[in-house]
Amino acid sequence: MITRLVLPYPPSANKLKRIVTTARGAFMAKTGQATEYSKSVGRIATLEKVAMIEGPIAIRMNVYRPIRRGDLDNTIKAVQDSLTGIAFRDDDQIVRIVANRYDDKLNPRVEIWIAPLTQEAPDATRQ
C-alpha cells in the first residue's frame, strides 16, 4: 500500500533546531517552528488515516519551494523527521529516496509517497 500526502512546505533547516545550554552542558533541541510543523504533519496524517509502515521503505518527494533558495536535502530531512513515529517507526527504515525540486511561489508544498519495499532490487554496483 502506498501512502500519499500533501504537506506544507517546512521551515528552513536553520530554524528546526537550536542549541540549549544548561548546567549539565549543551544539547540540540527542536525549535517552536519545528514542533508546530511536526504537529501540522501529524494532523494531516491523522486526517488521511496514515498507517505506520514497518520494514524497509521507499520515499518519493516532489518539493515545491516558495522562493528560489534552499537545499533539497534539508527539506527532505525536515519532512522525514516530521513523519518519524507517524508513517514509519524510524528514518533508518528509508532505503530509497527519489526527490525533485520545483518552484511554486503561490502554492509551496511537499507531495510525498511512502511505500514498503518487500524486495530490494539487485544493486548493479556490487560484485
In this structure, is residue 126 part of a structural domain? no
In this structure, is residue 22 part of a structural domain? yes
- Global pTM reads 0.82
Domain count, the chain: 1
108: amino acid identity, one letter: P
What CATH number is attached to the domain comprising 92? 3.30.1330.70
Please give the pLDDT value at position 70: 84
In this structure, is residue 27 part of a structural domain? yes
In this structure, is residue 125 part of a structural domain? no
In this structure, is residue 81 part of a structural domain? yes
Please give the pLDDT value at position 22: 82
In this structure, is residue 122 part of a structural domain? no
**String of b and e for 24-33 (b: at least 16 CB within 10 Å)?**
eeeeeeeeee
Measured between alpha carbons, how far is 64 from 78 in angstroms, rounded to an integer? Answer: 14
In this structure, is residue 63 part of a structural domain? yes
Q: Domain range for residue 9? A: 3-116
Residues of the chain with pLDDT under 50: 121-127
State the cell numbers at 40: 501540522
In this structure, is residue 17 part of a structural domain? yes
